[in-house]
Structure 1
Amino acid sequence: MKDEYIHQINILQNNFNILVAKKFEDKLDNQLTAKQVLLLELIKQGFTSTKDIADKLNVSTSAVSQILNKLEDRGYIERNFNPQDRREIILNLADKAHQYFRDLAALKLQINKDIYGNLSSKDLKQLKDILEKIITIADESDQSNANN
């Protein structure tokens, strides 16, 4: 029975994602891959070196560099020399990335208003509590896998 619920949840999540993507696809630059967005998010959070990003994601610096090259070619990031150590390159978001994040923030507000805004406070609290449980379980699973 539990497996059937999980299967139904996966279908519902996919359907929700498809509906949201269809409704809002014209509102955001959808030319970015999930990995590119992840790297932009990390740079926005303050990760300014290829090595720091690679360490955070537990991947090779060359894998990160390949994605960063594409982001730089498309005008989303800038690479600058560290004035204190010219051997070090500092990653910064370019204007195009800042615009992407402004557009994303506006999109999130619209989704909150159009979709989540139609749920009752009780439903929103229940959804929040369940998502927090899922995140805790996923985090514990990730930590246990890292220790093995």
Structure 2
Amino acid sequence: MATPQKTDRPGAGRPDPLTLEVVELIGDVVARYYADFDEAAAEHTLTGAQARLLSLLSLQPLPMRKLAQKLKCEPSNVTGIVDRLESRGLVERRPDPADRRVKLAAATEEGRRVARELRDGLRFAREPLAGLSDEERLGLRDLLRRMLAA
């Protein structure tokens, strides 16, 4: 009877070869996703950072500090990105109804339209995911959620 292969557990020492391969594949997926996202952004004369910020704001208005945390950058960088998107009519600043001292950045109707087009323009994962069954995609989604929750 074959013994099961040891899997990598937090604090268990060196990762096994399978874990290293999975980590490498995740890195490749992330790199391909960002390259595709940057290409879709360029079609709208946006930088990758501008497109990511616009995509976040198309889901809900957010304070600048929260945007900086989500984008993993300095609040002053977010201010510049919001300024450029605001000058193009894609975002606006508005007071936070819960605390009028706080300004929220929010996508305009035009900004939400561009964000939809950006999502629709992402081609990298569309075909490979379409080749998976519903059950496989659900399994992949659930595994990714588990990884992110850990």
SS at match of 2:92: strand
TM-score, with length taken from structure 1: 0.56
Distance in 2, Cα, partners of 1:57 & 1:19: 18
Q: 2:142 aligns with which of 104, 129, 132?
A: 129
Q: 1:44 aligns with which of 38, 58, 83?
A: 58
Shift of 1:134: 0.2
Mapped pair 1:69 → 2:83: yes
* Distance of aligned partners of 1:134 and 1:80 in 2 relative to their CA distance in 1, 3 Å threshold: closer
Question: After the TM superposition, which residues 1-80 of structure 1 pair with which residues of structure 2 at under 5 Å, given as runs?
Answer: 2-17=15-30, 28-30=40-42, 31-34=46-49, 36-47=50-61, 49-50=63-64, 53=67, 61-79=75-93
* Distance of aligned partners of 1:99 and 1:88 in 2 relative to their CA distance in 1, 3 Å threshold: same
Distance in 2, Cα, partners of 1:88 & 1:41: 21
* Distance of aligned partners of 1:7 and 1:76 in 2 relative to their CA distance in 1, 3 Å threshold: farther
CA RMSD of aligned residues (A): 4.2
Please list every run of 5 or more consecutive structure 1 residues that lacks an aligned counterpart in the other structure: 138-148
Please list every run of 5 or more consecutive structure 2 residues that lacks an aligned counterpart in the other structure: 1-13
Mapped pair 1:99 → 2:113: yes
8 Å CA contact 1:40–1:93 kept in 2: the answer is: yes
The 4+ residue runs of structure 1 with deviation greater than 6 A are: 21-25, 55-60
Higher helix share: 1
- Aligned pair count reads 132
Question: After the TM superposition, which residues 133-148 of structure 1 pair with which residues of structure 2 at under 5 Å, given as runs?
Answer: 133-137=146-150
Identity of aligned residues (%): 22
* Distance of aligned partners of 1:10 and 1:78 in 2 relative to their CA distance in 1, 3 Å threshold: same
TM-score, with length taken from structure 2: 0.56
